[in-house]
Amino acid sequence: MSGVSEHVVIVGAGQGGLQAAMSLRTEGFTGRISLIGEEPGLPYQRPPLSKAYLKTGAADALTLRPAAFFEKHDITLVTGTRVDSIVRDTGHVLLGSKTLGYDHLILATGTRNLRPPIDGLEHALDLRTLEDAKRLRKELDRPRTCAVIGAGFIGLEFAAVARALGHKVTVAEAAQRPMARAVSSPIAARFAEMHLQMGTRLCFGQAVKEVDETGIHLPDGEKIDADLILLAAGVRPNVELAQAAGLPCDNGIVTDAQLQTADPAISALGDCAVFPDPRTGRLVRLESVQAATDHARTIAKRITHGTATPYAAVPWFWSDQSDLKLQIAGLAFPEDDCIECENGSVLRFDGDALTAAETINNPKVHMKARKILALQAPPGRDTLKRAGYDLTLI
């Protein structure tokens, strides 16, 4: 694109969608930009909802950019509006009775809470949007007995905040350990111990069977009383818009290494997109703000300059739970080996290849890991072994 008269429409006004609009302007795109969000209000940060916001209630601190920013950079922000369908043949999206044409469409539709087949889930609260967090915070204004369904990042972050505020908390998780999809067993064990020390009860290998207004029911027959129940059992990518338009989807909207879908006029980014892992070629989907912003920058460069540079940024993730800060550099798969280091970090390996580094309260090692993993030829297992697996010596 030359960027003179074209129109880029971005569906999804979260952090990734906003970054796409900002990056287009940074790269010199001079055409029209429309950023469409289903939620009302200005784009905001989602990660603090399960952490700082529950403590402070400072909603204004979540806002990513003020209203004046959009006017200054000639970005049309449309909020509280749902895109109903994509008409690929004519290059239009339908918004109720309105039609909006595009030259390039970016799908940043994100995810929504996964709702397992559990009877009575209408009694459980969600923690996905700012409105969800406002309601949850209001419910925590008096002593509560909380039950959390799911021991992933969101469930455990909420549990840590709730316990720190003096509430009773039980976490029920279908897997045998916390954060099973995200971290190694040693790191999971350290976080489990921290939550136990805080007084949280952890029930692993317990897929909740039923929820009612008085608590949750476990498969072993135990009833756990609770007057506040949070559903935090994972997320599902919002692919329905893409699917209805005939775009291939497989646990996300399928893209190539440049985040382009099967339709060259449509890209996808962030939590809703699957793309080939640069190292293995396996299709992966990353639930990470940083991945979404890196995706956005990659797409903006392609649209503005016509470059076909593949997305190859090192992914990284984090979670704040009580006084422990988990940071993960890289992307490990469940079958990857793990090596526990003397400094408390855990290195993950696929054969000889370093795939990820997991750290707790150790930003120095985390940053070093990101630099190492970004190398064209990162040091292998034998080299790291000779250094005592101390990344700071590499």
What are 286-295's pLDDT values in tens digits? 999 999 999 9
113, 312 contact by CB (below 8 A)? no
169, 162 contact by CB (below 8 A)? yes
Domain with CATH 3.50.50.60 in the chain: 7-112+235-305, 115-231
For residue 128, give every residue at least 6 positions away whose Cβ sits within 8 Å of its Cβ, in sequence order, or none.
46, 49, 112, 113, 235
For residue 104, give every residue at least 6 positions away whose Cβ sits within 8 Å of its Cβ, in sequence order, or none.
1, 6, 7, 8, 9, 265, 266, 267, 303
- Percent of the chain having pLDDT more than 70? 99
Enter the DSSP assignment of 44: B
Closest CA to 158 of 233, 208, 224: 233
Q: Kindly report the CA angle at 270 between 267 and 274, in degrees rounded to 5?
A: 70
183, 348 contact by CB (below 8 A)? no
Burial 61-92 (b: 16+ CB within 10 A, else e): ebeebeeebbeeeebebbeebebeebeeeebb
Closest CA to 241 of 206, 202, 268, 201: 268
Is it the case that residue 231 has pLDDT exceeding 80?
Answer: yes
* Residue 62: per-residue pLDDT: 97
* Residue 380: per-residue pLDDT: 95
Q: Which residue has the tokens 């293995």?
A: 280
| 228 strand-pairing partners | 146
Average pLDDT over residues 252-264: 98
Q: Kindly report the CA angle at 314 between 312 and 318, in degrees rounded to 5?
A: 145
- The fold adopted by the segment(s) 323-393 is Enolase-like; domain 1 (3.30.390)
Per-residue model confidence as pLDDT tens digits over 24-73: 999 999 999 999 999 999 999 999 999 999 999 999 999 999 999 999 99
Per-residue model confidence as pLDDT tens digits over 299-354: 999 999 998 889 999 999 999 999 999 999 999 999 999 999 999 999 999 999 99
150, 234 contact by CB (below 8 A)? yes
Q: Which residue has the tokens 């309260």?
A: 361
Average pLDDT over residues 260-265: 98
Average pLDDT over residues 225-246: 98
pTM: 0.95
Residue 2: pLDDT band by 50, 70, 90 thresholds? Answer: very low
Taking the domain 115-231, which CATH number applies?
A: 3.50.50.60
* Residue 324: per-residue pLDDT: 98
Is it the case that residue 4 has pLDDT exceeding 60?
Answer: no
What is Dmax (Cα atoms) for the chain? 66
Q: What is the mean pLDDT of the chain?
A: 96
Count of CB atoms within 10 A of residue 171's CB?
25
Average pLDDT over residues 91-110: 97
Q: What does the block give as tokens for 362?
A: 């150790």
Q: How far apart are CA 122 and CA 105, in angstroms?
A: 35
* CATH superfamily for domain 7-112+235-305: FAD/NAD(P)-binding domain (3.50.50.60)
- Percent of the chain having pLDDT more than 90? 98
Is it the case that residue 361 has pLDDT exceeding 50?
Answer: yes
Closest CA to 311 of 353, 253, 257, 251: 257
Residue 101 CA neighbour count, 13 Å, CB half = 6
* Residue 5: per-residue pLDDT: 52
For residue 386, give the amino acid letter: R
* Residue 3: per-residue pLDDT: 45
Q: What does the block give as tokens for 21?
A: 């609009």
Is it the case that residue 223 has pLDDT exceeding 70?
Answer: yes
CA 195 to chain centroid: 22
Q: How far apart are CA 275 and CA 281, in angstroms?
A: 8
- 14 phi/psi in degrees, rounded to 5: -80, -165
Average pLDDT over residues 130-142: 96
Average pLDDT over residues 244-250: 98
Is it the case that residue 1 has pLDDT exceeding 50?
Answer: no
* Residue 308: per-residue pLDDT: 84
Q: What does the block give as tokens for 236?
A: 């599902």
